[in-house]
Amino acid sequence: MCTDCGCGPSGHHHHHSPAEQSPGRALRVEEDLLAKNNRFAAANRRLFREKGLLVYNLVSSPGSGKTTLLERTLTELQSELHFAVLEGDQQTSNDAERIAATGVPAVQINTGSGCHLDAHMIGHGMENFAELPLDIVMIENVGNLVCPAAFDLGEDAKIALLSVTEGEDKPLKYPDMFRAADILILTKVDLLPYLRFDIEQCKAFARQVNPRLRIFELSCQNGAGLPCWYDWLRQEIAAKRSLVRDDGR
């Protein structure tokens, strides 16, 4: 049978001009473009669950203080909690070296021209920590307030950082990221006296975009707000452990 017009095998000959070509075979698909990433994310989530790991995905623009917050947090909490860090950057292993200097195992993932970490990279990154007893894995994403919002890594939550040297309207300008995050950390608050940054306005903007956001304000220079952040991490790990115990029953 002629697939162009449906004529039978009677042997008549004709030519179809392109304009009268039938549309060919249409195949229904319904496959999500993020499906591949989401499959890897689901596998990561299973792995994290089996190991009872708490996993956070730190996202922000470059220079908002992700690595500094990690350095300080790891230095002060590693005596009570076992951490590991996956560091994402386009180039260099500078950040992994900074983290490794605290004594916490860190692996650098270079994305090259890529603008975000994806779930496949995280799965391979985790292979480096297979033998370690861990409580918390911190994933430091590539500094970018756009693309990482779309990629599930299998994490428990995305933590967005925003430094007070940026504009207070960033949550309105990059709503996808602030909507994807569960936690917002306002960093460098020791600089507030020198800036025209309205922190209450910033929090109001962030809550407009995402009313569920839990917001921390802190400074890694003078330590303000850090105890509150640490207490929250301790609560989260305690909740995770009790969940794992319930699972095991």
152 contacts other proteins (rule: CB under 8 A): no
123 contacts other proteins (rule: CB under 8 A): no
**What CA–CA distance (Å, rounded) separates 118 from 150?**
9
| CB nearer other proteins, residue 43 or residue 244 | 43
116 contacts other proteins (rule: CB under 8 A): yes
28 contacts other proteins (rule: CB under 8 A): yes
| CB nearer other proteins, residue 35 or residue 130 | 35
Q: What type of residue is 241?
A: R
Find the helix or strand (DSSP H, E) in which 57 lies. strand 54-59
Strands 183-187 and 136-140: unpaired
146 contacts other proteins (rule: CB under 8 A): yes
1 contacts other proteins (rule: CB under 8 A): no
Among 54, 209, 226, 237, binds other proteins (CB under 8 A): 209
In the block, tokens 């180039």 appear at: 91
Residues 6+ apart with CB under 8 A from 245: none
118 contacts other proteins (rule: CB under 8 A): yes
Among 8, 23, 112, 248, binds other proteins (CB under 8 A): 23
19 contacts other proteins (rule: CB under 8 A): no
Residue 1 neighbours by CB distance under 10 Å = 8
Cβ at position 113, least distance to other proteins in Å: 9
Which span sits near other proteins by CB under 8 A: 144-152, 156-164, 181-189, 226-234? 144-152
149 contacts other proteins (rule: CB under 8 A): yes
**What CA–CA distance (Å, rounded) separates 112 from 90?**
5
151 contacts other proteins (rule: CB under 8 A): yes
**What CA–CA distance (Å, rounded) separates 155 from 169?**
26
Of 112, 185, 107, 180, residue with least CA distance to 148: 180
168 contacts other proteins (rule: CB under 8 A): no
150 contacts other proteins (rule: CB under 8 A): yes
State the Rg of the chain over Cα.
24
